[in-house]
Amino acid sequence: MAEKTSRSHGPPTLTVKGRNVRIRTIGALVLAGLAIWFIAANTGSVGIRLWIPTVTLPLWAVLAVTLVAGLVLGGYLFRRRARR
pTM of the full structure:
0.65
pLDDT digits (tens, 9 = 90+) for 29-60: 899 899 999 999 998 999 989 888 999 999 99
Give pLDDT, residue 5.
Answer: 54
3-state DSSP call for residue 10?
Answer: coil
CA distance 50 to 81: 32
Residue type, 12: P
The answer for 50, left when phi > 0, alpha when psi is -120 to 50, beta otherwise, is beta
Give pLDDT, residue 77.
Answer: 87
